[in-house]
């Protein structure tokens, strides 16, 4: 079970995963070693899955952020998943409930690449019943993880 110190550590790491053990220790009133041990325990328990950064894709030339909803034939789900997981343009891939089985977030340089992605990576797949593409216009909030 998590205590208030664990919750504080998780909250601060979700805001800034680069915070030092020393700075975090000062905030929670423990030693740096104790904070490291708590973080290691949270990792070992699977509560912290990974430490990551948020990259501004647009500054790297990926000006189009698009979301694709795919309805697929169940018999072809595994091969479609494997193909999409291997695709370098795909950054998020979820299997969902409801009429749309797969939710795909992908990043590309321009509209021509959207067209290439759809034709080469989606329409060519066996078992796609419906594909609905949505292009992000403006991001107002971007938060990974969970508010503690």
Residue 75's alpha-carbon distances to 17, 79, 89, 127, in angstroms, are 41, 9, 24, 8
Q: 């998780």: which residue's tokens?
A: 10
Angle (nearest 5°) at CA 38 between 34 and 40? 115
Q: What is the tens place of the pLDDT at every residue in 122-142?
A: 999 999 999 999 999 998 887
Give the CB-side neighbour count of residue 125, counting CA atoms within 13 A. 24
1-10, 77-86, 91-100: segment of lowest average pLDDT: 91-100
Out of 24-28, 54-58, 119-123, least confident range: 54-58
Cut 0.85: pTM above it: no
């Amino acid at each position: 079970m998590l205590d208030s110190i664990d919750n504080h550590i998780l909250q601060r790491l979700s805001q800034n995963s680069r915070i030092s053990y020393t700075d975090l220790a000062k905030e929670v009133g423990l030693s740096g070693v104790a904070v490291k041990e708590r973080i290691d325990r949270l990792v070992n328990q699977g509560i912290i899955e990974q430490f990551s950064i948020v990259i501004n894709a647009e500054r790297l030339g990926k000006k189009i952020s698009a979301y694709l909803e795919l309805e697929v034939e169940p018999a072809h789900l595994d091969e479609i998943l494997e193909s999409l997981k291997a695709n370098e343009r795909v950054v998020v891939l979820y299997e969902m409930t409801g009429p749309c089985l797969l939710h795909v977030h992908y990043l590309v340089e321009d509209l021509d690449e959207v067209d290439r992605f759809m034709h080469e990576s989606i329409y060519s797949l066996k078992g796609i019943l419906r594909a609905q593409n949505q292009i992000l216009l403006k991001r107002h909030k971007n938060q990974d993880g969970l508010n503690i």
